[in-house]
Amino acid sequence: MSEKLTIATRITGDEAYVSLEGIIDEDANFEKIKSLQMNKFVFDFNNITMINSCGIREWIKYLDDINGSQIIYQNCPQSIIEQVNMVHGFIRKGIKVESFFAPYFCVNCDTGKKILLKESEVQNSKPPVKHCNTCKGELEFDAIEKQYFSFLGQGK
């Protein structure tokens, strides 16, 4: 957790791909990506380990600065989805969560799995059917569907 937030940006034309790593808290500094005049931002949250309450506030402020650009979130970890469901403002109207991790459970192997889902795979809060890599058995979705997928309605 001692890792501070690091931001790696790669731009291609009018699109910025921003990979975030570490924790988003009150010390998070988005100055470098505030002034980029891009039509589209793709944020990769795969390596974000935590967002605390102050981090959420900082992120919401940052979203104000890039208002008007198309925004896409990719690879959102389970901990981020939990925060997003708890606190509003992280996903604004127009923001698309393209992919995110969801908890599944294999009853045969007695193990929890984190499966990367695409937004399009979830219809009416129904999780897609997934299979265990080890025993090939069908996995059970291991969260309360309506609660876990409630963030999908926030950007619409």
Partner 1 sequence: MIRKVKFSLKYKFVAAISVLLLLTMGFYLSYALNIFKEDKAADVYSIALTNSVSVSERARLLINEELSLLSGLKESSSGEAIYEKMQTISRTHPEILGVECLVNDASYLSSVNTNKLREITNSDESVVLNEQSGALNQLKALANSSTKVDMALAQGFPSHFSILSSIDQNLRCALHVSYEKLFPLMSETLDYGTYILTESGKVFFKINNEDITVDVNKIVTDQTIQDVQQGVKKFTDEKTPVIRAFSRIPGLDLIAITEIEEQKAFMASSLLIQKSFYFGILILSVAVIVGILFTKRMTRNVQTLFEATTQVSLGNFNVHPVAEGHDEIGALTDSFIDMKDKIVGFMEEMKEKARIESELKVAQLVQNSFFPKQPMIRSTFSFDGRYLPASECSGDWWGFFEQGQKVTLIVCDATGHGVPAALITAAAHSCISTLKIDSEKNYISPSMVLERLNRVICSMHSEILMTAFVLEIDEEKNKIAYSNASHMNPYLLHRSGDEYTKDGVDPLIGNNGARLGEKESSVYVETKVDINKGDRIVMFSDGLTEMEVEGKAWGQRNFLKSILHGARKEATGMINSVLEDFNEHRKAHALQDDITLVCVSFEGKRVLLDEHSSDIPHGESFVISKLTNEKNIGVLSQSTINHLIGHNTIDLNREIRLMDKMESKSVFNLEDYIDESYQKQSWNLISNNKIKSIIDEMESNFAGNLSEAVKIEALKLVSEELLSNAFYHSGGEGKKIERGQEILLTPDKEVTYFVASNPDYVVVSVKGPSGFLSKEKLVSSILRGYQEKTPIAGEHGAGLGLYMVYENASQFWVINGGEQAGQMICVFEKFNRYKKGRERVTSFHYLAKEINHE
By C-beta, is 16 or 97 nearer to partner 1? 16
32 vs 126 by CB, closer to partner 1: 32
Distances in whole angstroms, Cα of residue 13 to Cα of each of 40, 69, 101 = 10, 14, 29
Q: How many CA atoms does the CB half-sphere of 124 hold within 13 Å? A: 0
For residue 146, how many other CB atoms are within 10 A of its CB? 9
Q: Nearest approach, Cβ of 96 to partner 1 (angstroms)?
A: 21
* Contact residues for partner 1, defined by CB under 8 A: 1-2, 8-14, 25-27, 32-33, 35-36, 49-50, 52-54, 56-57, 60, 77-79, 82-83, 86-89, 103, 105, 110, 112, 142-144, 147
Q: Shortest gap between Cβ of 57 and partner 1 (angstroms)?
A: 4
Residues 6 or more apart from 144 whose CB is under 8 A from it?
A: none
Q: CA 133 to CA 122: how far, in whole Å?
A: 21
Closest approach of partner 1 to the CB of residue 4, in Å: 9
